[in-house]
Amino acid sequence: MASSSDDHRIRMAAFGWLESQVLMHGDVLPRTLLDRGFTFDGQPVRLVGPQGIFKPHRMRLPLSITTTPGGPYNDSFGGDGLLRYRYRGADPNHRDNLGLREAMRLRVPLAYFHGIVPGRYLASWPAFIVNDDRGALTFCVAVDDVTAVDRRAQIGVSEMSGPDLEPDDPGREARRAYITATVRQRLHQRGFRERVLRAYQGQCALCHLRHDELLDAAHILPDGEPDSEPLVSNGIALCKLHHAAFDRYFFAIRPDYTVEVSEAILREHDGPMLRHGLQGIHEQHILLPRSVALRPDLVFVQRRYERFLQQVRGV
């Protein structure tokens, strides 16, 4: 088992590795990547395990907590905006629950992975256990700014020194409430994206581009409208070029699921990107999800098409 100093070093190395992976892949990471993990002092360190509360064998306290989509635990946000994370099982004194309770007492940061769709997780860190409700068999979790952990390390407060030695931080609760709220919003946005991309088999519905980093989930009815919901039937998978063009009414999708490019774009003369990327999709039938229930809602498509006509024809 690692010393408290080694435990902290591994934890900080894990956070640094996560930051590098998010820069490459975005903040929704595949489980295979988290399960493979990284190398520390010549030895592999995984970030997830078979159970939701995970402690690598080299560490003294848990490194991560994971929420599995469709899993046995009903993790959710409470009225205070904090995440409710279910105990492992029903025994408050299970060793995994004891590990999180000790992490709460010592204010040890964790990585939090929220399952968006099977096999893909939104990564957030540092996450802190801030309350323990034994009656409800849940912990309360707040996400903080990683610089707060860096500041603590810089002034010499180790993770095993206990809360009494933690520096005074009067803005901590407000900061964590704000950051946790942004995580909740990201869950909403990333969940919509992942569900839409999965329905469209990970490709643009127009050009069939398959590079995940260049794909978006475009709303048919814009997000924020009263009746716009984060349903797959209100989305379509588009590459970034076609998403931007769709949002700006360069083209629309008719209720028969064919593309109509605006007359102004069709009349333009430019390079191959315009000819093939935009003019070439005119009258093209879009790729549709295999499940009829996941296909674009025809009511939404019609409303969007009518707005397109108003924009390009003034009708």
Model pLDDT, residue 160: 45
**Percent of the chain predicted with pLDDT > 70:** 88
Model pLDDT, residue 28: 92
Q: Report the C-alpha gap between 314 and 264 in whole angstroms.
A: 13
Nearest to 12 by CA among 136, 149, 144: 149
Q: Is the model's pLDDT at 119 over the cut of 80?
A: yes
DSSP string, 257-306: SBEEE-HHHHH----HIIIIIIGGGTTPBPP--SSGGGSPPHHHHHHHHH
Q: How confident is the model at residue 161 (pLDDT cuts 50, 70, 90)?
A: very low
Q: How many residues does the chain have?
A: 315
Q: How confident is the model at residue 155 (pLDDT cuts 50, 70, 90)?
A: very low
The H-or-E segment that residue 37 falls in is: none
Nearest to 54 by CA among 104, 88, 7, 15: 88
> How confident is the model over 250-299, as pLDDT tens digits?
999 999 999 999 999 999 988 888 999 999 999 999 999 999 999 999 99
Q: Which two tokens stand for residue 226?
A: 């009263």
Nearest to 96 by CA among 61, 131, 45: 61
Q: Which two tokens stand for residue 65?
A: 């907590």
Helix axes 146-154, 4-25, angle to 10 degrees: 150
Model pLDDT, residue 34: 97
**Cβ 252 vs Cβ 236: under 8 Å:** no
CA 199 to mean position of chain CA atoms: 17
Q: Report the C-alpha gap between 116 and 205 in whole angstroms.
A: 22
Domain residue ranges of the chain, discontinuous segments joined by +:
4-193, 201-313
Q: How confident is the model at residue 6 (pLDDT cuts 50, 70, 90)?
A: confident
Model pLDDT, residue 2: 56
Model pLDDT, residue 152: 52
HEC states along 201-220? CCCCCCCCCCCHHHEEEEEC
Instruction: List b or e across 7-28, with b for residues whose CB sees 16 or more CB atoms inside 10 angstroms.
Output: bbbbbbebbebbeebeeeeeeb
> How confident is the model over 210-263, as pLDDT tens digits?
998 899 999 999 877 766 678 999 999 999 999 999 999 999 999 999 999 999
Q: How confident is the model at residue 182 (pLDDT cuts 50, 70, 90)?
A: confident
User: Which residues, other chains included, contact 221 with Cβ-Cβ below 8 Å and sequence gap of 6+?
Assistant: 227, 228, 234, 300, 303, 304
Model pLDDT, residue 157: 44
Model pLDDT, residue 14: 97
Q: How confident is the model at residue 73 (pLDDT cuts 50, 70, 90)?
A: low
83: left (phi over 0), alpha (psi -120 to 50) or beta: beta
**Cβ 252 vs Cβ 296: under 8 Å:** no
CA 30 to mean position of chain CA atoms: 11
Q: How many helices (H) and strands (E) does the chain have?
A: 9, 14
* Partners of residue 253 on adjacent β-strands: 259
> How confident is the model over 188-201, as pLDDT tens digits?
889 899 999 999 99
Mean pLDDT to the nearest integer, 155-167: 45
Instruction: Output the pTM of the full model.
Output: 0.76
Q: Report the C-alpha gap between 125 and 108 in whole angstroms.
A: 11
Q: Report the C-alpha gap between 121 and 31 in whole angstroms.
A: 7
Q: Is the model's pLDDT at 112 over the cut of 80?
A: yes
Q: Is the model's pLDDT at 168 over the cut of 90?
A: no
Q: Is the model's pLDDT at 46 over the cut of 70?
A: yes
